[in-house]
Structures are given as C-alpha cells and as structure tokens.
Amino acid sequence: MTLRTVLRNERRLLAADPALRIALAVFAVLFVYALVNGMAWERFQERTVEAARTGNAERTRALEQELAAIEAGGRPSSPFSDPRAPNVLGGARGAHTAALEPGPLTALAVGQSDLLPYYYDVSIYTNESSFQQNGEVENPLNLMVGRFDLAFVTVYLLPLLVLALSFNVLSEEREQGTLALTLSQPVSARDVVSAKLAFRALLVVGLAAGVSLLGILATGGASFGRVLLWCGTVILYALFWFALAAWVNSLRRSSAWNATVLVGAWLVLVVVLPAAINIAAGLLHPLPSRVEMITAQREASNDAVNRRSELLARYLEDHPEMASGVVADEPGLGALAWAATDAVNGRLEEVTAVHDARRAEQLALVRRYRFLSPALLAQEVLIDAAGTGDARFARFQSQVRTFADEWRQFFVPAILADERMNAGILPDVPTFRFVDEEPGDVARRTAVPLLFLGGLVVLMSVGAGVGLGRVRGAN
C-alpha cells in the first residue's frame, strides 16, 4: 500500500459518506452567505462615503452662490446664518465631512467598521465629544456579536468543520479493526494520518481560500500583500486545528473521547478565553461613564458664558499669533464666543484623556493575553489584513484631529479679527484627504501573531508526530 492508495481510498470514503457531504455543502453555503453579507456592508459604506463627498460639494456650491448673490447686492438667507461671518462659514453650515473609504478587504472582514465611526463633520466646533459619538444608528445585536462575515466563519466555525473531518482519522481504523491490516503494509501510522489529514486540509483550505479569492475578485481586488496575508492566516489557522486533531488522535483513545476533547478545546480556545479576556479588560480598566463627559461639557459651557472676556484675554495670551486685528477693549461677539468654546474644548480634553488612557490599558491587556487563544491571533491578523482593525481607524481619527486643527487655524484668526468672508475664500478652505498606511506597516504589525500561530502549528505537529510514531498495528 502506498500513500497514493491511502489518498485514493480517502477520497472514495469521503465521497460515499452522506454526513460529510452535507457538512461540506452547509459550510460552502455559510461561506458564500458570509461573503454576500460582507459585500453588502461594503456597498453600504461606499454609498455613505459617496453621499458625504456629494454633500461637501453641494454645500460648497450653495455657499458660493449665496456669497456671490450677497456681493451683487442681495441679502443673506437668514440674519443668524450669514455666510460672510467666519464663525458661520467655519461652523456647522460650512462644515466639511471627513470620511474613511472601506478597507481593501472589508467584504471579507467587517471588523471594527460597523462599530467605529468612519466619517466626521468637521467645523470650528469639533471637539473631543465629537470623536466619542457615532452618528450611525446600528442594530445593537450586530454590535454585540459582530457581523456574519468570512472572518467570523473562519475564526469561529471553520474549526468545527476541521474537527468533524479529522477527529477519528486514526481511532476509526482501530475501532473497525483495519489498523493492523493497514500498518502491515510499508507505511507508518504517521504516514497514514498525514495523508488523510492532507486530503481533508486540501478540501477545507481550498473551500475557504477559494471563496475568499472570489470575494476579492468580485470587489475589485486588493494589494498582493494583503491577499497573501489573508490567505496565509486562513491556512495557518486551519492547520493548527488539523495538527491539534492529529495530536489528540495520537493519544490512542476512542473516537468519542477524541470528539469530546476537541470540542472542549474549541469551546475554550474560541469562545471562553476570548470572552474572559474581554471581560477582564472591562473589569480591571472600566471606561468612564459618558454621562461624565456630558456633565463636564454642560458645566464648562455655563461657566464659560459668564467669563467670556476673561477667557478671551487668556486665549490671546496663550495664542499671541492669533491676536492680530483683535480690539482688546471692544472684542466682537464672535471672538467672545470662540473664547468660551475653546474653554469648553479644554475641559472636554481633560475628561476624554481619562477615557483614552483606560481604553489604551484595555487594549494593552488584550494584546498581552491574546497569545492564549489562536482564535484571537487569527482574528487580529484577518481584520488587519482587511483594513478594518483598530490601527487603521486610529490612523483615520488622528488625521481628522489634525484636519480639525487646520480648519480652526484657517477660521479662528478671522473670527477674532471680526473679518467678513467672500466667495473668493472658498477655494482656500482646507479639505480632508486620508493617507492610508503602507503595506509594510501591516506586515510588521502582524508578524508576531503570525509567527506565534505558526509556532503553535509546529509544536502540535511535532507532538502528533512523536505520538503517532509509537502507534503499532496491535495498538
């Protein structure tokens, strides 16, 4: 008997097993449904981003027409929203929406894109509370359990398919009395199990990678590095579970015992440990209540209204470059209002600094203990490869903060000097352009989780190889 004979027999046995055929068909449907679901979410995001860009263009066009009409002798549409006032043009009426394009592989892994904001309306009033709020109304069940995408199927359900195909690759031979006959041929138990698992791995990995590549082609593709990272992670993660099944089979116990142990391992590694780590992060580093931010904003607003002149003087001391054109004895209402706004913003920064510190501590704890769960490692790399992880959204938010500073630096001097705006100023108003990270940044960030996951595969494979080397026909 040769390994080719073993592979041929395995193909025939699996083709003749109706339960396995049904399992493969069900998982094929799940993979395709997950892909369709992810593509639907990506299209929704693309429509939202396009609507934001259209809104920016329409808003600018309407302001340009009104300013031109006023210069020609017309009157503002409302005396309370005169676009010639810099606090109006730089405020909510002239706000610019900064939006983040969907990640390169969002259709495969929704990740954090349905939880973290991917657009902000930036104006002179943008402050820390703006970054703590999400304007989208989302199904709370989706936010709690995550969307059903390819990453979800791969991390949570794919191991079950692997275990269903491989929990009894050796124990079944023994229970049917064919192990001694098989090992009487010039093959070892290690060879037989390796051949069986290799055939099953080709089926599983081929299904997962095939649907992933189909999704990549259907959505316009992505960089070769991201595709390679995605497929490599899927393969490594599947191989871990095959190696675990091989090790459990090498212990020479019954098929029922193997199934119980492997399902228990899936429950602990995929469900219990990730949940426990997340709960621990929330308990050890609880986030401040959002009510605290709202209360701080209200108190700071009330206090600032009564101290506007004092706050303006302090603001000009801290920002002497802004003092040009401000009449100290009779400052304009816009200057006084901006001084109060800046004081409120400063108070909110103090409150959100505590929130950000706690959030960073939570992430540090999760990153420290993620190595306990291969599922956490695989999920981290998959969403990073897709461009829907925390890192890309943090980069987006950082660039929006920088853009908000540029926006204020453009309008605040005019507010303090009580200047009037005209249509000629609109081409010079700042616009937002997101600069995405380089593929090398993603590769460096995911190198450690991938190496650790690969190390687990090697460790399990070596353990299985040693155990299977002790198997004899009489075992």
Over the chain (475 residues), what is each successive 10-residue block's mean pLDDT?
63 69 86 91 92 93 90 80 86 91 90 83 83 53 62 94 89 75 73 84 89 85 84 95 94 91 96 91 79 65 54 53 48 62 71 80 88 93 91 92 92 82 89 89 91 95 88 59
Phi and psi dihedrals of 111, rounded to 5?
55, -130
Return the bridge partners of 120, or none. 98
What is the model's pLDDT at position 221? Answer: 67
Asked if residue 101 lies in contact with residue 48, where contact means CB atoms within 8 angstroms, the answer is no
State which amino acid sits at residue 101. E
Q: Any idea what DSSP says for residue 442?
A: H
Please give the Cα distance from 78 to 449 (Å, whole number).
Answer: 58
What is the model's pLDDT at position 332? Answer: 56
* Structure-block tokens of residue 329: 């004895």
Please give the Cα distance from 107 to 45 (Å, whole number).
Answer: 11
CA 104 to chain centre: 12
Asked if residue 149 lies in contact with residue 430, where contact means CB atoms within 8 angstroms, the answer is no
Please give the Cα distance from 341 to 1 (Å, whole number).
Answer: 82
Asked if residue 456 lies in contact with residue 240, where contact means CB atoms within 8 angstroms, the answer is yes
pTM assigned to the model:
0.84
Per the listing, tokens 């990153």 go with 367
What is the model's pLDDT at position 415? Answer: 80
CB-count burial class (<10 Å; 0-12, 13-18, 19+) for 464: buried
- For the chain, give the number of residues: 475
User: Which residue from 208, 39, 209, 29 is spatially nearest to 107, judged by alpha carbons?
Assistant: 39
Pairing of strands 96-99, 119-122: antiparallel
Residues 6+ apart with CB under 8 A from 232: 450
Per the listing, tokens 């470059």 go with 321
Question: Each residue of 155-187: b (16+ CB within 10 Å) or e?
Answer: bbbbbbbbbbbbbbbbbbbbeeeebeebbeeeb
Phi-psi region of 235 (alpha: psi -120 to 50; beta: other; left: phi over 0): alpha
Please give the Cα distance from 471 to 475 (Å, whole number).
Answer: 6
Residues 6+ apart with CB under 8 A from 348: 127, 128, 129, 293, 296, 297, 300
Asked if residue 200 lies in contact with residue 165, where contact means CB atoms within 8 angstroms, the answer is yes
What is the model's pLDDT at position 143? Answer: 43
